[in-house]
Amino acid sequence: MLQTPSNLNRFKHLCLALLIFYLLYNLTTFYSVSLYTRYPSQIHNLATPFDNAIPFIPAMIIPYSWSLVLFVASFFLVRTSTQLFLLTYRLILATIFACLIFYLYPARFSFRRVVPDDWTQFGYQFLQLVDKPFNQLPSLHVSYAVLLGVSLWEVVASKKKWSSITYRLLLTGICTLIALSTVLTYQHHLLDMLGGVVLAVAVLILSNRIRNALVIKHLTLGMIGFLLLAIGGFYLTNMTVIAFESIETLAIIIALYWLISFTILACAYQQVTPMRDARWFQKSNNGRLTLYTWMKFAPIIIVYNSMSFLGQWYFRVFSKSQRYPLTAYAIYDKVNVVASPRLTQTDVSSHLTYWLFGHTSLEWPSSLESNRPSARYQIIVVDLAAEISSHTHYLEIAAKDIMSTPVHYLYLPLLDLQPLNDVLLQDYIDLFKRIESLTQSVKPRAINADNENQQEDSIITLINFHCVMGLSRSIGVQVLYLLYCGTLTVYNYQSWIEQYYPHAHLKDAYLPQSLVETMANYKSVTYSTEPE
């Protein structure tokens, strides 16, 4: 059954597309105006002999203005969530690629347009106010017209054939008039129109191959960062106080580095193969990002480190639900499991002592000093945070200070908000088998008590799943592990999440029911297929 998006969701998509458009379009416009003022020879002229034969038709300002109306209306005309996402992808992709071209190949409309003195003059006066004669190639009006026409083609689904034909003829007429108006109002040249069509076709091909919104998100962040840094360097260079050309060169280098990093990350999200095989974010044996990873993703790693720091500060200061360490959950005899965000060095000790002993002080409580249990401990850290170093190193230091507790490190790289079914089932199984192997590898040690009888001390294992700042990744994989162990079932896992992690956000798109059922049935299916 096709899902119909809510009006609120439609409005959010509209605001996102408009925000990106106005930010990038105005940014490149200001850049072109400044460049034309200082270095007019660097602004290109795209007029051809054929453009001289095109008449100026003032009344075409009306269909020219339809572009914004159709842009806004389209978000409320599409019928399904899939159509809404595809529409948003296409418009955002067209915007970011067009603005990149505007920066790399700035152009200006070449003809002088006289504002008519008839009823259309107010439209042209407003156009001169909001849209300068720059950002020419490709024409976004034309690109949007093609993309909106294609995206809205299937909106009317009627049993009456004439109704669908009438709608499509009307839609085609509107989009055609919008495209033609760009040259008939002397706002664009013919090459701009052609460029707009080429861009629209490229976006249509690309958008049908993009796996999810996360790819668009990182492409957009990369493009926004590139333009902000590069254009910012241009303005710094041309300030009267700071007039060094090297500043603009350095800014462009940093901007390219930013763009390349985010583009590589977008490619990582686009991959069908699991992250575990791709090894985009490599780490050392104690969970630290390698130098090679830093070289590829320094801007992204810095962003995530900042997010982690701010998130820890926010939870510590404002969030009542996170002021106390999360409680470990016992799944077997002497095996506890807990999901957490990535911990800072100052928070590790208090969390660890709470998880192991039920209090937050590093020192053993005086009331329990005489009855200190003989248990030994081991910690298994399952690192799910691909974009940031693990807190394993800090845990190792804290564990040595407490009871010389060994810490084992396992790594399953999951990108931020990456659906958990993007990872192969076998990768989860391999991880869970390694956890099982570690929990069973440590044998109890016999202790001599007063030379009278022999006792065996117990071994308590703490398994800590951790992600970056929130809990979605760590709780999600922890739930899969508990399903694998048989502690949870498909019938009670949701109520368990609500009880132990009431603030978790695990939607079906992130932790799909199909993956839950497959994991819950894994062992029973495996045992039933084993030969007798």
Length of the chain, please? 532
> What domains lie within the chain, and their CATH numbers?
7-209 (no CATH), 307-364+374-442+457-522 (3.90.190.10)
Cα 60 from chain centroid (whole Å): 41
Predicted local confidence at residue 354, as pLDDT: 80
Residue 161: both structure tokens together: 């054939």
Query: Smallest Cα–Cα separation from 377: which of 346, 408, 349?
Result: 408
Return d(Cα 46, Cα 109) in angstroms, integer. 7
- Longest CA–CA separation in the chain, Å: 111
Which run of H or E residues covers position 448? strand 446-449
H helices present in 328-382, as ranges: 345-357
Instruction: Please state whether beta strands 376-385 and 459-466 pair in parallel, antiparallel, or not at all (unpaired).
Output: parallel
**Residue type for position 383:** D
Predicted local confidence at residue 145, as pLDDT: 95
CB 255 within 8 A of CB 233: yes
Predicted local confidence at residue 249, as pLDDT: 86
Packing angle between helix 493-500 and helix 472-485, nearest 10 degrees? 130
Helices H / strands E in the chain, number of each: 18, 9
**Burial profile 169-206: b = 16 or more Cβ within 10 angstroms, e = fewer:** eebeebbebbbbbbbbbbbbbbbbbebbbebbeebbee
DSSP 41: G
Predicted local confidence at residue 455, as pLDDT: 44
pTM of this structure = 0.84
Instruction: Please state whether beta strands 335-340 and 329-332 pair in parallel, antiparallel, or not at all (unpaired).
Output: antiparallel
Predicted local confidence at residue 128, as pLDDT: 79
CB 428 within 8 A of CB 482: no
Query: Smallest Cα–Cα separation from 67: which of 147, 124, 138, 137?
Result: 147
Tell me the pLDDT of the chain (532 aa) as tens digits.
Answer: 567 888 999 999 999 999 999 999 999 999 999 999 888 889 999 989 898 888 988 899 999 999 999 999 999 999 988 899 999 999 999 999 999 999 999 999 888 877 787 888 888 888 878 788 888 999 999 999 999 999 999 887 666 778 888 888 999 999 999 999 999 999 899 999 999 999 999 999 998 888 888 899 999 999 999 999 999 988 888 775 555 668 888 899 999 999 999 999 998 888 876 555 556 888 888 889 999 999 999 999 998 888 777 766 666 665 554 455 678 888 877 888 998 888 887 778 878 888 877 655 444 444 444 444 556 788 899 999 888 899 888 888 887 776 677 889 999 988 888 888 888 888 899 999 999 888 887 655 544 444 444 444 567 888 999 988 778 889 999 999 999 988 999 999 899 988 888 877 788 888 899 999 999 988 765 544 555 4
